[in-house]
A and B are shown apart, each in its own frame.
Chain A
Amino acid sequence: MEQFKKVTRWSAFPSLLLFLVFLIINSVITGNFSISFFESFLTTNAAAICVAIGVTATILVAGTDISLGSIVSLVNVVIVTLCEKGYSVPTAALIAFGCAVLCGMVNGFIIGVMRVNPLLTTFATSTAFGGIALWILPYPGGYIDYSFGDWYLGNMLGFIPTPVALILILIFIWTVFTKLPSGLHLYALGKDVKKAYASGINVTFLRFFVHTFAGIAAGIAGICVSANTCAGSPVVGASMSMNSIAAAVIGGVSLNGGIGSIWGGIFGACFLNILILIVVSANFSSVVQSFIQGLILLIGVVFSVIAADKELSGKLKRIFKGGAK
């Protein structure tokens, strides 16, 4: 019982529950529930999950990052252009990944060292990064050698599917960082900047690190997208930034900082994408789809916010117990 309570109190629990419920709904509707379905689900949505991890990291220190989608587009465009110029695929991917890390560091520098509001900074940098992507490749097009796609669909180390391995690398970096004293500092910074600073925490470095990590996450996401589509588009990541923030909130990550974990972001992103899958497969007419997606997203966020709000959920509980005041 104690164990059970501990699990239900976990900040990522509501999103995990939502994900599982909708996974079951999906399998009932499509009659398709197997390991291979799960694998293909991860293959298509690895990018969204990576971006959600990156955004969650920045939200934990009471910031945000809405430039990750543009970085994903940039990585995709760079890989395609370099491949067409005759570079081998691994070199192109590594250079593009380096660009993404650099973009993250630019964000981190402006937010950490120059102390500019994260939302505005990343809006400005997203215009700039998106602009570079559009400048390099004005129209969707180009193609990447299919060996890249084969690598992505294959296994790493013999048994782990590549997308899963890529996500695991991100989770590993983050877990190591949070297990060190720096993890405690990170949550302290998210809760209260001034107190954290007064306790001798290096605020500048932490902000810089978090945005660099977000850049790394966006770089990996960009590689996933490119390998999955094997084509280039300057706006491939456009919708990712906003969706990932919604995913983090559904995952119980507080936008005021200091509450939540990256698992919340991961499950939130999984839930969102399975939702999209259901709406697509439920044969709604295409014009209604985006409205329904929006509505369910709204309901999901309302649900997870109410679940996290003790005062409000206490009130609701009392109402359901016979209206006794």
Chain B
Amino acid sequence: MEKLKKLNNPYLPAIVGIIALLILGQTVTSGFLSMNNISSILMTTAILTMASIGQAVVVISGDSGLDMSIGAVMSMTALFGPMIVLGSGTVSLIVMIPAVLIMGGCVGLLNGIGVRVIKIVPLVMTLIMSNVVNGFAIMITNGQPSVSVSKELQSISSVLVGPIRYLTAIVVILLIVLEIYFLRKSRYGRSLVLVGDNYNAAELCGINSQRIVILAYTFGGAMAGLAGLMLVGYAGTAQMNMADSYTMLSVAAVVIGGTKLTGGKGSFIGGALGAMVLILITNILQALNMAAGLRSLIQGIILIAILMTNSRAPKLRQ
């Protein structure tokens, strides 16, 4: 009984979902569990995981925090990142990473200021910001993206380290480091959870809540920026608004992973597991060769089912 209780942790639905989907995938199409397919699933999961880490920080910061500009930021950095060309490909790749972090961070900073200083509701602020960012990307590229992705950038998603790809390994390490040393142990991470749980109480404890929340949005934007660079490295080409679907996918991943949308509770690893569930669903439906419309209908229904079992609000009568 004790063990059962221990099992009832927030990750459980996601883990059960992943196992069920893997079995389903193997029965539907043979070769689903082949190493090649698994590593490509892990690859796309890694990109969504990056985005969901950014989303999770913003959601944890509380006050119905949400970052709807993640997709737009990813699309922007996917377009602008590869434009940096310096000397050799490796050098420009090294410059690209801080550059996309700064680009995303700037957008996140504006989001944070809008939400915390001007007090615009996060949903609206980030939504409008995504319009601005998308418009900005169109303006800079003249609406005709002509991005050539360098070999070095593409290699992060194709070179293998043992059985899995380079990028997946990096993301897994980054995920664990961020989870333990950023969210759980660092002074900032603890303040973030406290602020998300109760803004005023945190303020009374001497925490500068406003700064914490603004930093959370900045961090979220920076992570989205990095995810955009990964996406373009994986896809090999960049298009306008190529990452738009990542906004809501990251929200869904975070929720499936057990992070409460009311804030103050959550984890990055949960987001990663949620991302895996979503990617598996998409992958199985693609393997079945379904029409695009039917595919998104089934995705929607599965999502509703997950929501209805996983994140119902408690009854009002208590």
A residues whose Cβ falls under 8 Å from a Cβ of B: 64, 110, 114-117, 119-121, 123-136, 138, 193-194, 197, 203, 234, 242, 245-246, 249, 255-256, 286-295, 297-298, 301-302, 305-306, 309, 312
Q: Is B129 an interface position by the 8 A CB rule?
A: yes
Closest 3 CB pairs of A and B: A128-B300, A135-B293, A291-B135
Most buried by B among A115, A120, A129, A234: A120
Partner of B128, one of A64, A133, A135, A298: A298
* A292 & B135 in contact (Cβ 8 Å cutoff): yes
CB-CB under 8 A for A119 and B143, given A124-B304, A127-B299:
no
Q: Is B7 an interface position by the 8 A CB rule?
A: no
Q: Kindly report which residue of chain B lies nearest to residue A117, judged by CB atoms.
A: B261
Partner of B291, one of A130, A138, A193: A138
* A242 & B127 in contact (Cβ 8 Å cutoff): yes
Most buried by B among A115, A136, A293: A115
A65, chain B: closest CB distance, angstroms: 12
A190, chain B: closest CB distance, angstroms: 14
* B294 & A246 in contact (Cβ 8 Å cutoff): no
Q: What are 20 contact pairs spanning A and B, CB under 8 A?
A: A110-B307, A115-B313, A116-B311, A116-B313, A117-B307, A119-B66, A120-B311, A124-B304, A125-B300, A132-B293, A135-B291, A135-B297, A255-B121, A290-B139, A293-B131, A294-B134, A298-B131, A301-B120, A305-B118, A309-B119
CB-CB under 8 A for A246 and B135, given A120-B251, A134-B292:
no
Complex: A125 Cα to B317 Cα, angstroms: 27
Residues of A close to B118: CB separation below 8 A: 302, 305-306, 312
Q: Is B298 an interface position by the 8 A CB rule?
A: yes
Residues of B close to A117: CB separation below 8 A: 261, 307, 311, 313
* A305 & B119 in contact (Cβ 8 Å cutoff): yes
Complex: A312 Cα to B118 Cα, angstroms: 8
Residues of A close to B301: CB separation below 8 A: 128
* B297 & A120 in contact (Cβ 8 Å cutoff): no
B301, chain A: closest CB distance, angstroms: 6
Q: Kindly report which residue of chain A lies nearest to residue B136, judged by CB atoms.
A: A291
Among B184-213, those with CB < 8 Å from A are none
Q: Kindly report which residue of chain B lies nearest to residue A77, judged by CB atoms.
A: B293
Partner of B132, one of A126, A128, A289, A298: A298
B44-76 vs A, Cβ < 8 Å mask (1 yes, 0 no)? 000000000000000000000010000000000
Q: Is B123 an interface position by the 8 A CB rule?
A: yes
Among B135-171, those with CB < 8 Å from A are 135-136, 138-139, 142-143
A54, chain B: closest CB distance, angstroms: 17
* A127 & B296 in contact (Cβ 8 Å cutoff): yes
Complex: A197 Cα to B317 Cα, angstroms: 8
Residues of A close to B311: CB separation below 8 A: 116-117, 120
* B297 & A132 in contact (Cβ 8 Å cutoff): yes
Residues of B close to A287: CB separation below 8 A: 138-139, 142-143
Complex: A66 Cα to B61 Cα, angstroms: 23
CB-CB under 8 A for A110 and B304, given A123-B251, A131-B295, A138-B293:
yes
A321, chain B: closest CB distance, angstroms: 21
CB-CB under 8 A for A291 and B138, given A128-B300, A131-B297, A134-B296:
yes
A141, chain B: closest CB distance, angstroms: 14
Q: Is B6 an interface position by the 8 A CB rule?
A: no
Partner of B300, one of A124, A197, A246: A124
